Structure 1
Amino acid sequence: MPQLFSADWMNELKDLWNNDPEVKDKLAAIGFNSIITCGLKGEAKPMGVFVVENGECVRAGDYNGESPDWDMRADRKDWMKWTKEPMGMVGLGTAYTFGKLKFLSGDYGAMLKNPAMAGPFVKSFALMAKIDTQ
Structure 2
Amino acid sequence: MAELFSPAWMERFAAEWNREPDLAQALGQIDFASNIAYGFVEEEAPRGFLQVLKGQVASAGAYQGQALNWDIRASVDQWMKWISSPPGMTGLGMAFTTGKIKFKVGDYKSMLKDPRMATPFVKSFSVMARV
- Report if TM-score (shorter chain) is over 0.5: yes
Q: CA RMSD in A?
A: 0.6
Structure 2 partner of 1:68: 68
Distance 1:69 1:42 in 2: 20
**Secondary structure of the structure 2 residue equivalent to 1:96:** helix
**Secondary structure of the structure 2 residue equivalent to 1:36:** strand
Per the normalisation by structure 2, the TM-score is: 0.98
Alignment of 1:1-134 (within 5 A): 1-131=1-131
Q: What are the ranges of 5 or more consecutive residues in structure 1 without an aligned counterpart? A: none
Opposite residue 26 of structure 1, the aligned amino acid is: A
Per the normalisation by structure 1, the TM-score is: 0.96
Distance 2:86 2:102 in 1: 17
Distance 2:54 2:128 in 1: 21
Opposite residue 18 of structure 1, the aligned amino acid is: N
Distance 1:94 1:129 in 2: 20
Distance 2:37 2:18 in 1: 17
**Secondary structure of the structure 2 residue equivalent to 1:23:** helix
Q: CA deviation at 1:42?
A: 2.4
Deviation string, structure 1 residues 66-122 (Cα, Å, up to 9, x no partner): 111000011111011111010110110011000000000000000000010001000
Runs of 4+ in 1 over 2 A off after TM superposition: none
Q: CA deviation at 1:130?
A: 1.2
Opposite residue 116 of structure 2, the aligned amino acid is: A
**Secondary structure of the structure 2 residue equivalent to 1:51:** strand
Q: Number of aligned pairs?
A: 131
Distance 1:129 1:81 in 2: 10
Opposite residue 14 of structure 2, the aligned amino acid is: K
Identity over aligned residues, as a percent?
Answer: 47
Distance 2:23 2:73 in 1: 21
